[in-house]
């Protein structure tokens, strides 16, 4: 197998296609593959080709299957392109890890099906015709997220990732963790955020954990194609054990209301000993173990435990955690406020994730809210900022979907920066003032008087009027419905525990 780099150069030089045309062609051939195989597998196969275009390179005469060799494969049903793609992927995708644990790589890449020769050959040539693979990669990740949305394995939208990273404010040299990293989008955005500010390759430690092996593979390819150094752990459950070391930044698009989250071996152990607590003693929850029926509080305490002394976290969480009247959840909020960990809670618009109607909040935790460089000039200890961004969305063109959009993302981040007293672009910090219906800064004493509720719509209240009254009534009905559902879940868990004891 010889290196045909000259051919690759000719292809790139002779192809006059614009980036938009390249994107359209890649999506068209991906759609053809989707008729021959699972849509998610088809997209992952395209991601594999993008990975090869950046990684599969070797010196001539080494006998190694390279991207240039793949570009030189002839067209036609009997061309052998399917076998060539498989050979190249098998050689270049990362090997299993040293302990023998499969890191979600070689044996997980789908095999090109019969009849895919034309689409594969066209994809190789199109990808080889452009140096700008970033937009192709972004498109593939959006398509893969849409394919997987029904199974709740969607990826964080780009504008949402920008909001989360901007709220956490990572710096050069920080240790950044995403315990549910998916495709790695939040870590990629952290790298971009810091790179744009330092102008050099950031000296950051980027670490991701992902439970699903296929998605872990996607994250590795995502980092490799972009040339970002990041460590993705072997697939596994992040909640199984506490983080062994502290992190400066933790970012997470968490699974909402995850049930039966306790690892299986521990669950079985507890079933044999009904008198034992539902969760073993753990430094993450020294006072009270989380409910086994929902992982929401477990995730929050896992993240808080992973923070360094001045660490910050930004994560998405279902609304019910902010306003639930369930005793366990209320006591969790009380502990977070007692430890002065909550910095900001942002009520996000409905339907901005595309896959669900559920509403959510972005929580920002901070272990040190005193005035200091890199955070802000204002001391915000014993205070919490609430932002009501329920109506901060824009329609997606040619779609019924919604998104935050750059304008609304910037507005939220500007409000948070002003509250912190954080200068932007070298200018003095903008003074912060509460804005009716948008933002309000509250003391932890006031929040305690409200049964430790953390729902922004209860604090950043719209001015009186018919529209506000209608929304308030809807919010109240939603709260009552959520509480009823939580009561049903608790009763179901109690009933199962009783049945296990019989």
Confirm whether 450 is domain-assigned: yes
Give SS3 for 171. Answer: coil
Same domain, 68 and 202: no
The reply to whether 111 falls in a domain is yes
Is 289 in the same domain as 330?
A: yes
Q: Whole-model pTM?
A: 0.84
Report strand pairing: 247-253 vs 360-366.
Answer: unpaired
Asked whether residue 166 falls in the same domain as residue 308, the answer is yes
Q: Count of CB atoms within 10 A of residue 149's CB? A: 15
Q: pLDDT, tens digit, for every residue of 433-461?
A: 999 999 999 999 999 999 999 999 999 98
CATH number of residue 260's parent domain: 3.40.50.150
Domain membership of residue 109 as a residue range = 5-146
Q: How far apart are CA 47 and CA 40, in angstroms?
A: 11
Does residue 492 lie in a domain region?
no
Taking the chain, what is the end-to-end CA distance rounded to the nearest angstrom?
A: 68
Total domains in the fold of the chain = 2
In this structure, the answer to whether residues 123 and 163 fall within a common structural domain is no
In a domain, 88, yes or no: yes
Closest alpha carbon to 403 in 364, 358, 478, 348: 348
Which 3 state secondary structure label does DSSP give 237? coil
pLDDT in the model for residue 409: 96
On whether both 270 and 335 belong to a single domain, the answer is yes
Q: Are residues 293 and 438 in the same domain?
A: yes
In a domain, 493, yes or no: no
Three-state DSSP class for 372? Answer: strand
Please indicate, yes or no, whether residues 226 and 303 belong to a single structural domain of this protein. yes
Boundary (domain end) residue, out of 146, 177, 208: 146
Residues 216 and 273 placed together within one structural domain of the fold: yes
Contact 232, 223 (CB under 8 A): yes
Q: In terms of domains, do 39 and 131 share one? A: yes
Summarize pLDDT for 246-303 with one digit per residue, the tens: 999 999 999 888 877 774 444 444 444 444 445 557 899 988 888 877 899 999 999 9
Domain assignment of residue 407, yes or no: yes
Token pair listed for 193: 């955020």
Helices (H) and strands (E) in the chain, counts: 17, 11
Is there a domain that residue 38 lies in?
yes
Considering the domain architecture, whether residues 200 and 118 belong to the same structural domain is answered as no
Domain annotation covers residue 90: yes
- Please tell me the distance from the alpha carbon of residue 236 to that of residue 211, in angstroms, as a whole number: 4
Task: Kindly state whether residues 140 and 159 are assigned to the same domain.
Answer: no
Low pLDDT (below 70) residues in the chain = 1-17, 78, 95-107, 149-154, 263-280, 354-357, 424-427, 465-473, 475-476, 478-480, 482-487, 489-490, 493-494, 496-502
Could you tell me if 271 and 156 lie in one domain?
A: yes
Q: Which of 98, 126, 146 is the last residue of a domain?
A: 146
Boundary (domain end) residue, out of 120, 146, 172: 146
């Amino acid at each position: 197998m010889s290196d045909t780099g000259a051919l690759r150069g000719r292809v790139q030089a002779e192809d006059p296609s614009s980036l938009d045309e390249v994107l359209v062609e890649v999506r068209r051939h991906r759609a053809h593959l989707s008729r021959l195989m699972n849509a998610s597998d088809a997209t992952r196969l395209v991601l594999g080709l993008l990975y090869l275009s950046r990684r599969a390179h070797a010196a001539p005469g080494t006998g190694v299957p390279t991207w240039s060799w793949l570009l030189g494969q002839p067209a036609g049903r009997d061309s052998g392109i399917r076998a060539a793609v498989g050979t190249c992927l098998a050689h270049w995708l990362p090997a299993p890890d040293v302990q023998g644990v499969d890191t979600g790589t070689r044996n997980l890449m789908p095999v090109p099906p019969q009849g895919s020769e034309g689409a594969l050959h066209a994809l190789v040539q199109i990808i080889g015709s452009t140096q700008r693979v970033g937009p192709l990669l972004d498109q593939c990740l959006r398509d893969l997220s849409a394919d997987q949305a029904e199974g709740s394995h969607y990826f964080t939208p780009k504008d949402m990732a920008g909001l989360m990273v901007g709220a956490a404010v990572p710096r050069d040299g920080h240790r950044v963790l995403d315990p549910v990293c998916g495709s790695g989008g939040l870590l990629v955005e952290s790298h971009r955020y810091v790179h744009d500010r330092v102008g050099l390759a950031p000296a950051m430690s980027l670490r991701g954990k992902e439970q699903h092996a296929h998605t872990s593979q996607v994250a590795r390819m995502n980092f490799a194609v972009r040339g970002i150094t990041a460590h993705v752990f072997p697939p596994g459950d992040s909640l199984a054990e506490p983080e062994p070391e502290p992190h400066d930044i933790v970012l997470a698009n968490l699974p909402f209301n995850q049930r039966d989250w306790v690892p299986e071996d521990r669950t079985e152990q507890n079933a044999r000993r009904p008198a034992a607590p539902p969760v073993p003693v753990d430094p993450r929850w020294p006072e009270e173990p989380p409910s086994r029926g929902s992982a929401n509080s477990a995730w929050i305490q896992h993240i808080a435990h992973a923070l360094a002394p001045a660490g910050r976290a930004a994560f998405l969480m279902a609304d019910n955690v902010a306003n639930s009247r369930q005793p366990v959840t209320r006591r969790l909020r009380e502990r977070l406020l007692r430890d002065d960990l909550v910095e900001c809670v942002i009520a996000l618009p409905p339907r901005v994730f595309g896959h669900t109607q559920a509403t959510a909040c972005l929580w920002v935790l901070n272990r040190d809210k005193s005035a200091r460089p890199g955070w802000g000039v204002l001391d915000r200890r014993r205070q919490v900022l609430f932002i009501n961004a329920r109506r901060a969305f824009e329609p997606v063109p040619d779609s019924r979907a919604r998104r935050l959009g750059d304008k609304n993302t910037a507005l939220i981040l500007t409000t948070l920066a002003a509250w912190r007293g954080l200068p932007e672009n070298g200018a003095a910090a903008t003074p912060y003032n509460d804005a009716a219906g948008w933002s309000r800064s509250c003391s932890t004493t006031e929040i305690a008087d409200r049964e430790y509720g953390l729902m922004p719509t209860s604090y950043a209240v719209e001015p009186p009027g018919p529209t506000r009254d209608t929304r308030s009534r809807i919010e109240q009905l939603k709260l009552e419905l959520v509480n009823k559902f939580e009561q049903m879940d608790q009763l179901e868990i109690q009933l199962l525990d009783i049945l296990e004891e019989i």
